[in-house]
Structure 1
Amino acid sequence: MSAIRVDSAKPYFATSSLVIGYALCSSLLAVINKFAITKFNYPGLLTALQYLTSALGVWVLGKSGFLHHDPFTWQTAKKFLPAALVFYLAIFTNTNLLRYANVDTFIVFRSCTPLLVALADTAFRKQPIPSKLTFVSLLIILGGAVGYVATDSGFTLTAYSWAFAYLVTITTEMIYIKHMVTNLGLNTWGFVLYNNLLSLMMAPPIYTTFL
């Protein structure tokens, strides 16, 4: 009986660990990016350096035998290119949002994405609609976000323009990435390599346009 309980608890602890880890990494990333864009006020170049670091890190660790990633081929890259473009735009709008707004505003808009992703998942990927309790919880989060926007003393048109652009691109990216991962069958590190390497290739023209 005790063995059964331990086995049944494993998925719960695994999921909880992933959720806590994601929340911690996402929170720290927002703070670090805010600090970076404050000290280095070139969003296009900053995102390009992030892609370079990620792609190079995966390649070096792969060559060293610490991880395995799918090989880079142009045939797969062509199929993955639209997803990488949306990913690039999501990160770029994220960086500019943090450039013109505080971390609180970023977190508020980011908190709205689960509701939008759930609705888009149901509409475009024919996934089951969230349960009533889940849907109500997401609506409560949305209500809190609306209240924040209505009382934000630091409201500026520039900051909120980037905020809405980020909300649209990150929602699109999450849905499209799910579609691409399902269809292409890349492993986790292969996905990271393709995403960042293709984004790095797109960085120069976008960087020169939005310096």
Structure 2
Amino acid sequence: MSAIRFEPTKQYYATTSLVIGYALCSSLLAVINKFAITKFNYPGLLTALQYITSVVGVWVLGKFGFLHHDPFKFDIANKFLPAAVVFYLAIFTNTNLLRHANVDTFIVFRSLTPLLVALADTIFRRQPCPSKLTFMSLLIILGGAVGYVATDSAFTLTAYSWAFAYLVTITTEMVYIKHMVMNLGLNTWGFVLYNNLLSLMMAPIFWVLTGEYNEVFAALVANGGNWFEPVAFTAVSFYWVFDLRLVSETCKLDL
């Protein structure tokens, strides 16, 4: 009997450790993102570095046999492109939210996504409704978020505009990505590769549309071609490391 109980217990501890690892990386990444965008104030370029880190990380680990990802095929990429656009917009609004607001505001709006995703899954994907206790818990979180907004002394229209844009895009991304992955049959690491590689390809378009390329070139000229001050380099380095770590924890959790 003890041998029979061992495997579920082992699985329980493995799942718990992954959840804790994901929560820790996700929480730290929000703080590190804020630090990075404060010291390296180019959101488009910063997110492009995130995509490069994820793509190179998955490709290298795949080459060494540590993981398996679906090969990149243009026909699949074409089908996956709408989901990648939504993903890019979610990351774009995320970074700009952290650029204009504090981490507390980001966390509050992020905490609303389970409620919106649950409703969207029920309406658009015909998934079962959350249980009464689950729904009540999500409503309590909503009440806390409303209270935070009502008493936020750092309220600005710009910050909350980005917050609502982020909330819409991240909810859409979470629901739509599940739909696309299920239909295309990508494995978890293949999903990471397609998402980040296609987003990296889109990044230059947004650099031009937002005019960020002018800011980057102006900074290069002003600093004599030196992009990174030591503090900025440290912030971006932490950003790279924790982004790849978060991808790893997320994918292991999904698997």
Query: Under TM normalisation by the shorter chain, which class is it?
Result: over 0.9
**Superposition RMSD on alpha carbons, in Å?**
1.2
Partners of 1:167 and 1:63 lie apart in 2 by 36
Partners of 1:13 and 1:127 lie apart in 2 by 28
Letter of the aligned partner of 1:98 in structure 2?
L
Structure 1: gaps of 5 or more residues: none
Partners of 2:98 and 2:205 lie apart in 1 by 22
The more displaced of 46-55 and 77-86 is: 46-55
Partners of 2:139 and 2:57 lie apart in 1 by 39
Secondary structure in 1 aligned to 2:202?
Answer: helix
Partner of 1:133: 133
Partner of 1:81: 81
TM-score (norm 2): 0.80
**Cα offsets for 1:58-103 (capped at 9, x unmatched):** 1122222222111000000001101100000000000000000000
Partner of 2:177: 177
Secondary structure in 2 aligned to 1:169?
Answer: helix
Partner of 2:158: 158
Pairing 1:111-150 to 2, within 5 Å after superposition: 111-150=111-150
**Cα offsets for 1:120-156 (capped at 9, x unmatched):** 0111111110111111011101100110000000000
Partner of 1:69: 69
Letter of the aligned partner of 2:2 in structure 1?
S
Partners of 2:197 and 2:8 lie apart in 1 by 39
Partners of 1:100 and 1:151 lie apart in 2 by 18
Pairing 1:83-98 to 2, within 5 Å after superposition: 83-98=83-98
Partners of 1:13 and 1:129 lie apart in 2 by 28
Letter of the aligned partner of 1:51 in structure 2?
Y
Structure 2: gaps of 5 or more residues: 213-255
Instruction: Quote how far apart the aligned CAs of 1:17 are.
Output: 2.6
Percent identity, please.
84
The answer to whether residue 57 in structure 2 is matched with residue 35 in structure 1 is no
The total of aligned residue pairs comes to: 211
**Cα offsets for 1:34-67 (capped at 9, x unmatched):** 0110011111111111111211221122222222
Partners of 1:141 and 1:175 lie apart in 2 by 20
Secondary structure in 2 aligned to 1:193?
Answer: helix
Partner of 2:44: 44
Instruction: Quote how far apart the aligned CAs of 1:11 are.
Output: 4.4
Letter of the aligned partner of 2:7 in structure 1?
D
Partners of 1:4 and 1:143 lie apart in 2 by 44
Instruction: Quote how far apart the aligned CAs of 1:16 are.
Output: 2.5
Instruction: Quote how far apart the aligned CAs of 1:8 are.
Output: 3.5
Letter of the aligned partner of 2:167 in structure 1?
L
Partners of 1:116 and 1:19 lie apart in 2 by 21
TM-score (norm 1): 0.96
Letter of the aligned partner of 1:23 in structure 2?
A
